[in-house]
Amino acid sequence: MNKAQMGPLAEAVQSGDRSALARAITLVESSLDKDRHDAELLLEQLLPAAGHSIRIGITGIPGAGKSTLIERLGIQALDSGYKVAVLTVDPSSEKSGGSILGDKTRMTLLAARPQAFVRPSPAGITRGGVAARTRECVYLCEAAGFDLVIVETIGVGQVELTVSGITDILLLLLLPGTGDELQGMKRGAMELADLVLVNKADGPMRNVALATVADYRQALRLTRQSLFGEEVEVIAVSALEDQGIAEVLQKLFQIHQMRRESGALAARRAEQCREWLSQAIREVFLESMAGKISPQDRIAELEQEVIAGRMTARLAARQFVNDGSEHYPGGVS
């Protein structure tokens, strides 16, 4: 397809048509060459309408109650007048590549709301379990008018760095009494988290949860601040009983507004775009086997195009490769 042929789908996405958004995400997630070309044309048209949402990453150890928390948080935001999109990254069957967690069945109340959109995506073999095109799916959701875009991960290994690289705020969900049980996740999660929640602070576990909150508050106060110099808060919540959820939503808005006003948000997103472009350049090089190297000045120019929202990272990467082919036909060592 050409850009004009992608126009109707782009218009439907911007009108808030959830079916059109689902089709657009399917196109973006496809690994077929033809679909990737069409996806780039679609994203190029929709990028100017993206960028306005609060991008929230949520990670945590398995069983911490991420899906229940997301549903409660999403409903709270909907009731406050916001539109909410949730991109949940599922483990995939190695044979089928299909999603096996079934997030829509885990978030039935949220998925049924007309101002919400819930989309599971197979994680495949992508580093950290975050689907390869999740970043681009975030842009599609923003173009469709969603105010909050939540990215949930499977929460194992070192996924936190990847999630932090595509969101504005990283929220870490823990269980009462977890402590050293975070194991390998602890280093990445605790170093990158902007807000820490101890879930299941209800019933007989409430006192244990409050003790866990106190322990982590003390540890974080001694060891680190957020990447933006803010104190990392630890809050006890009960997603099951809907306790503390309103406070969490308010805190997320507060963090986002503070960073927007200070310029920290723009700086974070600019750095994310640079990394996006860097990854795309490597990806396109592997796909095309071009092997050409463009001057650093050209890369800097393309970075500005991506940051300004005038080009997708893959489109910029292809331009980079094409420039190398045109100006250095014999290759550059």
CATH number, span 50-262: 3.40.50.300
For residue 130, name the pLDDT band (cuts at 50, 70, 90): low
Q: pLDDT digits over 67-114, tens only?
A: 899 999 999 999 999 999 999 875 543 334 444 444 455 789 999 999
Q: pLDDT digits over 287-328, tens only?
A: 664 445 546 778 888 999 999 999 999 899 888 877 765 544
pLDDT for 37 beyond 80: yes
What pLDDT does 122 receive? 62
Q: What is the mean pLDDT of residues 166-182?
A: 80
Could you give the 3-state DSSP secondary structure of residue 121? strand
- Residue 196 C-alpha from the chain's centroid: 17
Give the Cα separation of 42 and 11 in Å (integer).
10
Give the Cα separation of 189 and 278 in Å (integer).
24
**What residues have CB less than 8 Å from 178, skipping those under 6 apart?**
61, 212
Give the Cα separation of 332 and 193 in Å (integer).
42
Task: Tell me the whole-structure pTM to 2 decimals.
Answer: 0.81
Give the Cα separation of 314 and 195 in Å (integer).
32
**Between residues 108 and 186, the one the model is more confident about:** 108
Q: Which of 2-11, 52-61, 141-150, 202-211 has the highest mean pLDDT?
A: 141-150
**What residues have CB less than 8 Å from 256, skipping those under 6 apart?**
54, 168, 169, 265
Range of weakest confidence among 1-15, 185-199, 280-294, 309-323: 280-294
Q: Taking Cα atoms as reference points, which of 59, 327, 295, 13 lies closest to residue 174?
A: 59
Q: Please, what is the average pLDDT of the chain?
A: 81
Range of weakest confidence among 22-31, 37-46, 170-179, 202-211: 170-179
Give the Cα separation of 200 and 32 in Å (integer).
43
For residue 266, name the pLDDT band (cuts at 50, 70, 90): very high
pLDDT for 329 beyond 70: no
Q: pLDDT digits over 212-237, tens only?
A: 888 888 877 776 655 556 788 899 99
Residue with tokens 């602890």: 186
Residue with tokens 């409430």: 206
Tokens encoding 206:
């409430």
Q: Where are the domains of the chain?
A: 50-262, 263-333
Residue with tokens 């999660």: 189
8-state DSSP, 243: B
- In the chain, the percentage of residues whose pLDDT exceeds 70 is 77
Strand partners, 292: none
